[in-house]
């Protein structure tokens, strides 16, 4: 994650999707048939991170 993406995550103050949580779950490749809870957690983290990336791109160059 870039520093800008981390800053966006911190500002959103989501109770689950923190910087630490995302860094832990983004690289996981769990199999839904072997460990469905972990696979769904990783999928949620990836979806949230995708939105963060879109925000960072949209706001690139904008000052706070």
Q: Could you read off the pLDDT of 8-35 as tens digits, one per residue?
A: 999 999 999 999 999 999 999 999 999 9
- State the burial class of residue 50 (Cβ atoms within 10 Å of its Cβ: 0-12, 13-18, 19+): exposed
HSE toward the beta carbon, residue 30, CA cutoff 13 A: 19
Calculate what percentage of the chain has a pLDDT beyond 90: 88
Token output for 25: 């779950």
Cα gap 34→21, rounded to integer Å = 21
Token output for 43: 């999928």
Calculate what percentage of the chain has a pLDDT beyond 70: 94
What pLDDT, on the 0 to 100 scale, is given for residue 19? 98
């Amino acid at each position: 994650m870039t520093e800008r993406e981390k800053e966006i995550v911190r500002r959103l103050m989501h109770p689950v999707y923190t910087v630490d949580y995302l860094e832990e779950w983004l690289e996981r490749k769990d199999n839904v048939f072997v460990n469905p809870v972990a696979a769904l957690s990783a999928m949620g983290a990836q979806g949230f991170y995708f939105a963060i990336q879109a925000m960072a791109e949209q706001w690139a160059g904008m000052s706070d």
